[in-house]
Amino acid sequence: MARPKALAEGEDVGGIASDRLRSLIERIERLEEERKALADDIKDIFAEAKSAGFDVKVLRQVLRVRKMEPAEFEEQQTLLDLYLRALGM
């Protein structure tokens, strides 16, 4: 597939400002790179926690709970308790 010809600085194509479009695309690309770097950092921290003897599944649950509103957490705990009792656990 042939590569499209380069546009002159500030040239519009079909009513689209090429400089603005390029700027938006490049910003998105930079943020995606940052997101990947952050995800890698988080993965490393989970690996560190695991090697220190922490249960990664439980850590993820703790993180999820910390994001909740207290009332939402209380409701989920109440339902969990109810369901477990209903199952005889």
Residue 14: what pLDDT? 72
Residue with tokens 């690996």: 47
This prediction's pTM: 0.68
Per-residue pLDDT of 12-54, as tens digits, reads: 777 788 999 999 999 999 999 999 999 999 999 999 999 999 9
Per-residue pLDDT of 60-73, as tens digits, reads: 999 999 999 999 99
pLDDT at residue 1 is higher than 70? no
- Nearest by Cα to 54 from 81, 63, 74: 63
Across 4-13, 23-32, 53-62, 78-87, least confident range: 4-13
Backbone angles phi, psi at 6, to 5 degrees: -70, 145
- Which of the four pLDDT bands, split at 50, 70 and 90, describes residue 3? low
